[in-house]
Structure 1
Amino acid sequence: MARARSEERRAEILRATIEVIAERGYRGTTLGAVAERVGLTQQGLLHHFPTKEALLVAVLDERDQWDTGGGARRGEGWRLELLASLVDYNAMRPGIVQTFSALLGESVTEDHPAREFFTHRYGQVRADMAESLRDEFGERLPGGLTPEQAAPLLTAVMDGLQYQWLLDPEAVDMPVVFRHFLTLLRGGEPGPAGLSAS
C-alpha cells in the first residue's frame, strides 16, 4: 500500500516536472518549482528524487516510454514513418527536447548521473533503428550500407537536428529536414504518402 502511494507520488512529480519544463524550459526548472507544484517541500521532493539530474533523467525515461508506447512498438520495429511523426511531435515540445539535449551534452563528462542512462539508451536506440531499417530495406540500404552501419547515422541525424533546431528554429525546420534525410536514405525515392521531402 505504501509502495503504491510512493509510486503514485513519483508519477505525480514527473507530470509536474514536465509541466514546469514546458513552461520554464530546462534552466528555469528547479526542484523548488516542482515541489511547489505538487505541494511538497523541497526536502520531501528529495525523498523521491535525490538530485535535479535524477529527476530529469526519470522524466526522460518516462518520455521514452511514451514515445515507444511503453515498448510495445519495439516488437514491431520503429517504421521510418513513425520516426518522422516522432520528429513532428518533438518540434511541439521544445522544453523536453531542450532538457534531453542539455543532459545529453553534460552526460559525456566522467561520473555524470545521466551517463549510464544515455549509454544504455543509445545501445537500445541503435538496435531499434537497425531493425527499422531492416524492415524497410532488408539487409542492404540503397547506398549499400547494412542496417547496423546506418543505424548510428540515423540516430545522429535525429539528435543533431534537435541541437540545430534548438539553436536556430527559424533556419532549421526539423520535420522537413528529417524528411529530406529519409529521401536520401531511400536513394532519392519518395517515401509513403505524406513523407515526401517537399
Structure 2
Amino acid sequence: MDTDARPRRRGPYAKSAERRRSIVDAAFEVFAARGYQGGSLQDVADRVGMSQTSLLHYFPSKADLLVAVLNRRDVVADTGPLEDETRDFPTILIDQARFNEGVPGLIELYTVLCGESVTEHYPARDYFEHRFARLRDEYSAELRKLEAAGRLREGVDIERAASSIVALWDGIQTQWLLDDSVDMAACLADYLGLIIRPSAP
C-alpha cells in the first residue's frame, strides 16, 4: 500500500495550537461583547466546550488571554507601518476605516478594551499606551513627508494633527457602533482634506 495515501495524523503540537486559536477566538467574542472586566474565563471556556481548569492549561491567567486576544486583533486588522507606495497616506487610512467596518467584532473589541484601559491596574494599559504612541509617531512621519512634498496645508501643527487623527478615528468608531449610519471613512476623509492638499493629477 502506498503509505503516502494514508491520512496523516496531526501531532500534539498542531492540536494544541488549534485549541489555543479556538480559545483566543472565543475570548475575542466574549471580550467584544462584555469587556475584559465583564467577560469571565468561564464564559470563554463554555464557548469552546471545555472546563475552566483545562483552559488555564493553555492560558495561565485571564491577563495572558487578553494579551493573546489583542495580538489576534492586530493580525486581523492594524494600520501598521505605512509602507504601501501604491497609495498615499490619506488613502491608506480611509481604506483601513472601510476595511474595519467589514470585520465582525473588530471595532467592538477594540473600543470596549480601549475604554477599559484607563481603569486602575488594567493589564493591557501598556498595550494601548504603546499603540497610541506608535500611531502618533507613524502619522507624524507621514505628515512630514507630505509637508516636504508641499501637500500639507499652511498652519498645520504636525504633532497635534497626528493626535487628532487618532482621536477622530477612535471617536468616529464609537459613534458608528451606536449608529451605523455614521460614515466613518467619509468623516476621516473630510478631516484629512482640511489639512492635506490633494495629490497632483
Unaligned runs of at least 5 residues, structure 2? 1-10
Q: Which amino acid aligns with 1:91?
A: E
Q: Which amino acid aligns with 1:47?
A: H
- In the other structure, the counterpart of 1:92 is 102
1:159 is aligned, of 170, 174, 177, to 170
Residue 152 of structure 1, CA deviation: 0.8
Q: Compare CA radii of gyration and give the structure with the larger one.
A: 2
Residues 161, 44 of structure 1: alpha-carbon distance in 2 compared, 3 angstrom cutoff: same
Measure, in 2, the Cα distance between the counterparts of 1:54 and 1:139: 44
- In the other structure, the counterpart of 1:145 is 156
Residues 13, 132 of structure 1: alpha-carbon distance in 2 compared, 3 angstrom cutoff: farther
- 1:1-57: CA deviation from partner (whole Å, max 9, x where unpaired): 987765554334323444x45xx9522965445434545322222333311x54344
Which shows bigger deviation, 41-50 or 110-119? Answer: 41-50
- In the other structure, the counterpart of 1:27 is 34
State yes or no: 1:124 paired with 2:134: yes
Measure, in 2, the Cα distance between the counterparts of 1:30 and 1:192: 53
Residues 174, 130 of structure 1: alpha-carbon distance in 2 compared, 3 angstrom cutoff: same
Identity over the aligned pairs, expressed in percent? 38
- 1:70-126: CA deviation from partner (whole Å, max 9, x where unpaired): x5x455698221111111011123522112111111111221112111111111111
Q: Secondary structure at the match of 2:105?
A: helix
Q: Secondary structure at the match of 1:184?
A: helix
TM-score after normalising by structure 1:
0.73
Measure, in 1, the Cα distance between the counterparts of 2:198 and 2:149: 20
Aligned length: 184
Measure, in 1, the Cα distance between the counterparts of 2:41 and 2:192: 39
Contact in 1 for aligned 2:156/2:195 (Cα 8 Å): no
Unaligned runs of at least 5 residues, structure 1? 194-198
Measure, in 2, the Cα distance between the counterparts of 1:146 and 1:138: 14
State yes or no: 1:60 paired with 2:74: no
RMSD (Å) for aligned C-alpha atoms: 3.4
- In the other structure, the counterpart of 1:196 is none
TM-score after normalising by structure 2:
0.72
Contact in 1 for aligned 2:97/2:185 (Cα 8 Å): yes
Which shows bigger deviation, 158-167 or 78-87? Answer: 78-87
1:14 is aligned, of 10, 24, 27, to 24
